[in-house]
Structure 1
Amino acid sequence: MDIVHCLDDRYAPMCATAIVSLCENNPNSDIQYHIISASLSQENKDALKEIINRYGAKVKFYDVDQTILKDCVIKEGDHVSLAAYLRILIPIILPENIETILYLDCDLVVCENISNLFSIQLTDFSCGAVCDGGTNDIRTYNRLAYDYEKGYFNSGVLLLNLKYWRENNITNNLFKFIKEHPERLMFWDQDAINSVLAGKIKRLPFKYNMTDPFYQVNPPLRQEYLDEIEQSLLNPVILHFATANKPWYEDNPHPLKYKFYQYLSLTKWKNQYPIRASFKRRCLKAIEKYLNISVTRRKDNSLYRKLN
């Protein structure tokens, strides 16, 4: 199985954790990693390579000139970097003989065997992806200007049909959309991918990308989705920490964040986390306590449901 991660130095510990989680739960699999970065130090490359080799997997690193991302939108205060857009380049960076890959964000852990993902047929589809927490929010479609029926998907787990992307010039079309419609991009590459590929994304089962909104009280999704999500709450195949408040922050309330530390403990970064929240966030917490209000309630335990 061909696996792709895109990152910068800031996310090397998280990428290592994701790699360990996949390898631990997919023993005896033929795994080839492709690591794409515009600014990954040799020290971090060596650390990731050591982990990958430990499990008998293989790795190839690809260095990208970041100027190619000059039109990509990152706003002040965003919790992502330009590395989020690197996945757009996958079809033109990877060798032509690779036609299907699994792209994974670094802020996730693989909790079970994923070999069945690669048996999913993508004929006539650009990729397979799981619906995002905002898939039933009409404001998403109003902002991106395409039909509600086509769905809105999370780009953190993508089963990519590289043959389709290459034949239909998708990478160039995405960069063209980003340059022409920067005002529409609230969620970076994800908004561009959904807009350009609307109607050509195959919906994958929720278990393959269980994001934070699915664990929160009263997620804004239709009942048929909620029924499927309920079956995967405790046993996700891929658990994705997709909000700004990540499990490596000490105040993160996610009910399954222990899974992140389970795999982090098998890396050299095991003693570096959790870290304190930012000074700004600590100040907001102090204001909440003093005024008895809830400025940061969206990150509190009250937002997440209790799991049995």
Structure 2
Amino acid sequence: MTEEMAILVTVDENYLEPLETMLFSLREHHLNQRMTIWLIHEEIPETKLEKLQQLIDSFGWQLAPVAVTQYIFKEAPTVTRYPKEMYFRLLCGKILPKEVERILYLDPDLLVINSLNPLWELDLEGKLLAAASHRGVTNITNSLNQLRLNTDHPYYNSGVMLIDLEKARETISIEAINETIDRYGPYLLLPDQDVLNHLYGKYVKEVPDDVWNYDARKYVSYLAKSMGEYDIHQVMNQTAIVHFCGKPKPWKEKSDTRFTGLYLDYVHRLKHYKQQHKLVKE
């Protein structure tokens, strides 16, 4: 068993069910791994936190919730799809205790289907964080984002990030974030991800998205880019994280992708797990 892994999640109460599914998938591939789940939130009700606590206790892990009220972004473009909880990850170095030196941020809308230990143990080589870029076959979207945000590096997806918190505390500034939001607000399509790329993309160590942040919408794109080699068998053997970017999300009825069934299987397995461990009312 490797050292304890520190996982960061930032959600509101509306995403607790997907969060439980994600954490259950994480548990299924790390049965002997010690974990602390750091949950940064603003106002999740105590009763709902208690249910999450019970689930995580059953895994043998630690839940460390941190309620945040002081780190609210001035005039941040927060809408239903991008609640302000998503911004907490940008300031996680300021929010979390100083003894936490490294953390792995995971979006709630993903599945872990293989071990994350190689990512957790990755040498960041002095970089602020590690993340993946969804380049696609033509790389057109990446180029447009570079133009839109005035950057010269790949456009990184912020759904999976290994963060050096000591460097984050030195580098990431709430003043710079607020200034970027004020200046580029109308152009921020994915607000916190755009801010991350504009301000801190040059400090990112890139990791392969087909392994660490596989976009579930783009199976055909991955297959084409690999000349037919990265098929579903390779995904199940080599991919560690399948990320359900965009809409509809896999827990919605309108979702019907190649990976929807995989997601729903974890949902059903979690339901049975809760019944077996008496985590649901009869």
Q: TM-score range by the shorter chain?
A: 0.7 to 0.9
In the TM superposition, residue 218 of structure 1 has moved relative to its aligned partner by 4.3
Residue 130 of structure 1 contacts residue 205 of structure 1 at CA under 8 Å; is this kept in 2? yes
Matched, 1:16 2:8: no
Give the aligned residue type for 1:143. Answer: R
SS at match of 2:115: coil
Q: Displacement of 1:210 after TM fit?
A: 0.7
For residues 205-237 of structure 1, the C-alpha deviation after alignment (integer angstroms, 9 at most, x for no partner) is 22111113432x447x9947x788658534421
Question: TM-score, normalized by length of structure 2?
Answer: 0.84
Q: Secondary structure at the match of 1:122?
A: coil
CA 1:245–1:14: 2 relative to 1, 3 Å: same
CA contact (8 A) 2:156 2:201 kept: no
For 2:277, the equivalent position in structure 1 comes to none
Counterpart of 2:243, as a letter, is: H
Mapped partners of 1:145, 1:119: distance in 2? 32
| Unaligned runs of at least 5 residues, structure 1 | 272-308
Question: What is the aligned length?
Answer: 264
Report the Cα distance in structure 2 between the residues aligned to 1:146 and 1:84, rounded to whole angstroms. 22
Q: Which amino acid aligns with 1:195?
A: H
- Which residue, 136, 139, 144 being the options, matches 1:139? 144
Q: Secondary structure at the match of 1:39?
A: coil
1:171 Cα offset (Å): 4.5
**What SS class does the counterpart of residue 202 from structure 1 fall into?**
strand
- Partner Cα distance (1:3, 1:45) in 2: 17
1:205 aligns with 2:208: yes
Secondary structure at 1:154 match in 2: strand
Show CA shifts across 1:74-113 (max 9, x none). 34xx533222212112111111121110000001111111
**Which whole-Å CA distance do the structure 2 matches of 1:33 and 1:228 have between them?**
35
Percent of aligned pairs with the same amino acid: 27
What residue number does 1:38 align with? 42
Confirm or deny that 1:105 pairs with 2:107. Answer: yes
Q: Name the CA distance, whole Å, in 2 between partners of 1:250 and 1:36.
A: 29
Determine which structure has the larger strand proportion and give its number. 2
Q: Which amino acid aligns with 1:62?
A: V
Cα displacement (A) at 1:170: 4.1
Supply the distance in 1 between the matched residues of 2:147 and 2:72 (Cα, whole angstroms): 29
Provide, for residues 135-159 of structure 1, a one-character-per-residue CA deviation record: whole Å limited to 9, x for no partner: 6422211111112xx1111100000
Q: Equivalent residues in 2 for 1:67-216 (5 A)?
A: 68-75=72-79, 79-133=81-135, 136-137=140-141, 138-147=143-152, 150-206=153-209, 207-215=211-219
Check whether the contact 2:216–2:259 (CA below 8 A) recurs between aligned residues: no
Decide which moves more: 134-143 or 203-212. Answer: 134-143
| Cα distance in 2 for residues equivalent to 1:68 and 1:229 | 42
Q: Does 1:27 align with 2:31?
A: yes
Q: How far apart, in 2, do the equivalents of 1:222 and 1:29 lie?
A: 36
* Match of residue 60 from structure 2: 56
Report the secondary structure of 1:252's partner residue: coil
* TM-score, reference length from structure 1: 0.78
Q: Give the secondary-structure state (helix, strand or coil) at the position aligned to 1:199.
A: helix
C-alpha separation between the residues in 1 aligned to 2:168 and 2:229?
A: 30
Structure 1 residue 169: Cα displacement: 3.5
**SS of equivalent residue, structure 2 residue 163:** strand
